[in-house]
Amino acid sequence: METHLTKEQEIKKMVKQKYSVIALQNKETNASSCCGSGGCSTEVYSIMSEDYDALNGYNPDADLGLGCGLPTQFAKIRKGDTVIDLGSGAGNDCFVARAETGETGKVIGIDFTPAMIEKARANAEKRGYNNIEFRQGDIENMPVADNTANVVVSNCVLNLVPNKKAVFKEIFRVLKTNGHFSISDIVLTGNLPEKIQSAAEMYAGCVSGAISKEEYLNEIKLANFQNIKIQKDKPIIIPDDILKTYLTEEEIVIHKKTPTTIRSITVYAEKAESAENCC
């Protein structure tokens, strides 16, 4: 019997396949592509990603060049905290989080792709880290008990997830009372050209799976988070060599005349005791 996948299942299948390939590539290959998704630009890396070199715990071989911010820098991680990283990849943000939480804390990385989990575990084992754990799972349904984490971080991952509402509900569930998250992600402040929106390469490349900034922040509010703050907001400019793949010259001119619609934001929010009680 032929099985027909839903749109969400198709997206998840595509993302898993794409990031299975990315896990086997080196940083240089990913750096010259759309968040690792394919050979589209030599400019994207410097525009999308940020420099981890100055952060304690940074390990270059765990950095696949896939992020769009520095959530761990803003996450207010304290010694002894339990931290969960959503979409942990090869372990980059987990290792930075470990430097903050110390040996008395714990870091749990969750990733959808088996190849990424394997790579992250190898990186942790190489360094003898025994307080970092990597779990394969869907961040819409995390393999984590209620009230586990003091802090949740994530770097350019939620935009790849079809059901963002479910993810924020899950983040609320796994956070302890008075815990918080700091998440870097891609959002839109205007309409993205349909040709880019529907392009699979761009989807796995962090852009066309994004929702509006207003809708993104509203989903956080609806999940009962409080004290929501934008810690960083920067424009993302798509280079011409990507635009030419999807748009005509005339469409590129029109696109460039409109205000920058793609932005990388780092958002902070808290699971306050009052919010938990009201639910």
In a domain, 2, yes or no: no
Q: How far apart are CA 179 and CA 82, in angstroms?
A: 10
How much is the pLDDT for 28?
Answer: 47
Q: What is the DSSP letter of 143?
A: S
Cα distances (Å, whole numbers) of residue 257 to 10, 148, 164, 249, 250: 34, 47, 30, 13, 11
Question: What does the pLDDT look like over 217-266, one tens digit per residue?
Answer: 999 999 999 999 999 998 877 777 777 877 889 988 888 887 768 888 99
Residue 155: give the domain boundaries. Answer: 7-278
User: Structure tokens of 5?
Assistant: 């996948």
Please give the helix or strand (H or E) that residue 153 lies within, else none: strand 149-155
In a domain, 44, yes or no: yes
CATH assignment of the domain containing 49: 3.40.50.150
DSSP 172-190: HHHEEEEEEEEEEEEEESS
Total structural domains within the chain: 1
In a domain, 251, yes or no: yes
In a domain, 1, yes or no: no
Compute mean pLDDT per 10 residues along the chain, 279 residues long, and list them. Answer: 59 57 49 45 49 62 64 94 94 92 96 90 92 95 97 90 92 98 91 67 59 95 97 84 82 81 92 70
Q: What is the pTM of this model?
A: 0.80
In a domain, 191, yes or no: yes
